[in-house]
Amino acid sequence: MLAISFIVHSCSQDAVLSKEDAKSLLALRDSIGNDSTDTIPTDTIPHPNDSSWWRITGLDITASSVEDTAIVFLIKSKNYYPVEHARLDLTAYTFPDKWNIGIIRAYQFSPNPGYSQAVRRIVHQRYPNGNWPLNISLRGNTYTGTIHATDTAYSISWAHDSIITIQPKLFPRQ
């Protein structure tokens, strides 16, 4: 309890302004004119964290399975980014009978300088034998394929390798 009290007390001290600082801030606020249209000006300078900087033009996916026969996708952007570690922001809805993957953007995972692809690893539980839909969304388009499961292997039917490459198309169930 003492540690929590100390943290709260020290945080509250950082948030207190002196009377002089408060007067300066009020004077600064009052010196800024009102915009009658209530619009925010558009920033035209590109920044490293802008979504345009982190644009993804395509994906390379390495497919495999693990001991419990789950499918593993190692997804990498075809683009390289000016950081040591970039990461893919995505949604992955794994239903027992299908897999929907939505690629949202690439973002900086660490601030270290470097040059890397954005990466993410995702897993889908074991598929029962049969054919199952695979949907991957990128830049507003949804690409569809099929995962075929047998007792010994998975195979992927995929006709979109020019944008999203999946390799290998046939791999053993572990």
Residue 42 reports pLDDT greater than 70: no
pLDDT bucket at 3, cuts 50 / 70 / 90: very low
Residue-wise pLDDT for 121-143, tens only, equals: 999 887 889 999 999 999 889 99
Q: Left (φ > 0), alpha (ψ -120 to 50) or beta: where does 19 sit?
A: alpha
Rounded to 10 degrees, the C-alpha dihedral 88/89/95/99 comes to -40
DSSP string computed for 120-142: EEEEEPPPPSEEEEEEEEETTEE
Residue 13 reports pLDDT greater than 50: no
Q: Strand (E) positions, 70-129?
A: 71-81, 86-95, 98-108, 116-124
Q: Mapping DSSP to helix (H, G, I), strand (E, B) and coil, where does residue 10 land?
A: helix
What pLDDT score does 166 carry? 97
User: What's the whole-number mean pLDDT along residues 72-90?
Assistant: 91
Q: How many residues does the chain have?
A: 174
